[in-house]
């Protein structure tokens, strides 16, 4: 193993009591993500060290950039905490680099080292100037040579790659994501993962009104966000009968409100069964009639389970930006029908009344239909992007 990387934890390091558990979860997630690569990993409470080969370095860094809980990834050189060894290594490092101006940043956490950080930066700066034709520029240097003097060794690096931050996925337990083929819900899922909430997904399908392509699209979206988790499953709920009953019994303007109340009821039942603590969805305030605050209150009324709406306060352009960043946009905009876009009334109610919802729901036996939905769920595990790519 000829390459060494260390990982900074970021926000995680502000957690006092939970820190051990967080670090363990991060370690588990990193191991899952690096499966198949050649590496050795070790950790302390403040960082992780990964040794790898030259060949696997690039792929390893690429995968680490999809692991929540990592603030930054640093490819470094390590020597013993010994003045001469550090000097020699720095000369070797700078000789390989192209630059005109530089600065030295020393951090001395090991107080047994005989020089202060500032003294050592000046000392090493002098050595660099003697060996290479260049200048010091402390304000806007071409490169910064970082030297971290610690008891376990001294680490030298010039480059730090940003990680995606957040908390390790799973530290908060699981949430049930209502995942449609749209733009919003995959982004909502990504944001929940970022706060450490692992996901199971729930998709309502209405064949033959919705097609197999829509289902495959949803599975593909799930497999894209699964890059940030590794544990995601998709539960496909057969929604046709219940949706047709709503259509038959409920006045036009209330169809969507009632349909969404049914979705919430099913999401709650399945969440409890699958030990998910919360429901998560892609609702955004005011986006459509069913997402006015009044609609949200009336729809939310069927459950006591917290409903997390990570994109509630973002506008559509901000959500699109995120979907481009995480790689779901291209799939989300494929033009296949969703069960929310079929049977859409021309004038859905904007300010629904709870009494009316209850009245309309009592016109048919929805409990039995909900049982049927729950009993006939198809669960898809082992999401692999490539398996679904060809289906679209």
Residues that bind ligand ATP (CB under 6 A): 178-180, 182-185, 202-204, 281-283, 287-288, 338-340
Q: How far apart are CA 186 and CA 88, in angstroms?
A: 50
Residue number with CB closer to ligand ATP (141 or 181): 181
How near is the Cβ of 293 to ligand ATP at its closest, in Å? 15
Ranked by CB distance to Mg ion, the top (closest) residue is: 184
205 binds Mg ion per the rule CB under 5 A: no
CB 257 within 8 A of CB 351: no
Piece of 77-85, 122-130, 179-187, 239-247 that binds Mg ion (CB under 5 A): 179-187
Question: Which entry of Mg ion, ligand ATP, none binds 144, CB below 5 to 8 A by partner kind?
Answer: none
184 binds Mg ion per the rule CB under 5 A: yes
What is the spatial order of strands in the sheet that 278-280 belongs to? 307-308, 278-280, 174-178, 198-205, 234-238, 378-380
Torsion angles phi and psi, residue 247, rounded to 5: -60, -40
How near is the Cβ of 283 to ligand ATP at its closest, in Å? 5
Residue number with CB closer to ligand ATP (25 or 237): 237
Q: How far apart are CA 351 and CA 290, in angstroms?
A: 9
Question: Which entry of Mg ion, ligand ATP, none binds 338, CB below 5 to 8 A by partner kind?
Answer: ligand ATP
End-to-end, the C-alpha distance of the chain in Å comes to 41
Question: Which entry of ligand ATP, Mg ion, none binds 198, CB below 5 to 8 A by partner kind?
Answer: none
Question: Which entry of Mg ion, ligand ATP, none binds 168, CB below 5 to 8 A by partner kind?
Answer: none
Beta partners for residue 48, in sequence order? 7, 43
How near is the Cβ of 254 to ligand ATP at its closest, in Å? 16
Distances (CA, A) of 252 to 130, 264, 339: 82, 20, 16
How near is the Cβ of 131 to ligand ATP at its closest, in Å? 57
Residue number with CB closer to ligand ATP (163 or 182): 182
338 binds Mg ion per the rule CB under 5 A: no
Ranked by CB distance to ligand ATP, the top (closest) residue is: 182
Torsion angles phi and psi, residue 237, rounded to 5: -100, 125
CB 162 within 8 A of CB 251: no
How near is the Cβ of 316 to Mg ion at its closest, in Å? 8
Residue number with CB closer to Mg ion (216 or 332): 332
Residue number with CB closer to ligand ATP (104 or 183): 183
| Residue 286 CB coordination number (10 Å) | 14
| Residue 362 CB coordination number (10 Å) | 10
How near is the Cβ of 222 to ligand ATP at its closest, in Å? 11
How near is the Cβ of 63 to ligand ATP at its closest, in Å? 28
Residue number with CB closer to ligand ATP (64 or 178): 178
Q: How far apart are CA 198 and CA 294, in angstroms?
A: 29
How near is the Cβ of 256 to ligand ATP at its closest, in Å? 8
CB 258 within 8 A of CB 343: no
The sign of the torsion formed by the CA atoms of 158, 164, 168, 172 equals positive
Which helix or strand (DSSP H or E) is residue 28 part of?
helix 19-33
Task: List residues binding Mg ion (CB under 5 A).
Answer: 184
């Amino acid at each position: 193993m000829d390459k060494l990387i260390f990982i900074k934890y970021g926000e995680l390091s502000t957690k006092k009591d939970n820190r051990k558990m967080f670090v363990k979860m991060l370690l588990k997630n990193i191991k899952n993500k690096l499966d198949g690569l050649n590496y050795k990993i070790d950790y302390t409470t403040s960082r992780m060290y990964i040794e790898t080969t030259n060949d696997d370095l690039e792929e390893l860094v690429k995968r680490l950039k999809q692991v929540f809980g990592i603030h930054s990834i640093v490819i470094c050189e390590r020597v013993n905490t010994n003045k001469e060894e550090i000097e020699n290594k720095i000369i070797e490092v700078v000789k390989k680099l192209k630059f005109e101006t530089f600065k030295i940043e020393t951090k001395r956490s090991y107080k047994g080292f005989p020089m202060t950080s500032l003294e050592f930066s000046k000392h090493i700066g002098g050595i660099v100037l003697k060996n290479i034709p260049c200048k010091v520029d402390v304000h806007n240097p071409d490169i910064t040579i970082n030297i971290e003097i610690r008891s376990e060794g001294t680490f030298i690096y010039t480059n730090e790659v940003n990680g995606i931050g957040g908390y390790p996925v799973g530290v908060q337990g699981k949430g049930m994501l209502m995942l449609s083929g749209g733009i919003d819900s995959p982004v909502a899922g990504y944001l929940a993962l970022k706060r450490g909430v692992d996901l199971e997904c729930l998709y309502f399908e209405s064949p033959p009104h919705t097609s197999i392509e829509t289902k495959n699209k949803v599975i593909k979206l799930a497999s894209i966000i699964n890059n940030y988790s590794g544990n995601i499953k998709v539960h496909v709920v057969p929604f046709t009968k219940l949706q047709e009953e709503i259509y038959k019994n409920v006045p036009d303007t209330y169809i969507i409100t009632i349909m969404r109340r049914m979705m919430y009821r099913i999401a709650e039942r399945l969440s409890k069964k699958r030990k998910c603590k919360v429901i998560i969805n892609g609702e955004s305030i005011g986006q459509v009639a069913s997402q006015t605050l009044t609609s949200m209150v009336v729809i939310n009324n069927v459950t006591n389970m917290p409903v997390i709406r990570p994109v509630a306060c973002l506008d559509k352009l901000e959500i699109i930006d995120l979907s481009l960043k995480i790689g779901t946009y291209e799939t989300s905009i494929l033009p296949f029908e969703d069960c929310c876009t079929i049977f859409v009334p021309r004038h859905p109610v904007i300010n629904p009344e709870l009494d009316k919802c209850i009245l309309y729901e009592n016109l048919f036996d929805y409990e039995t239909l909900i049982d049927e939905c729950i009993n006939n769920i198809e669960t898809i595990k082992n999401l692999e992007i490539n398996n679904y790519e060809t289906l679209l």
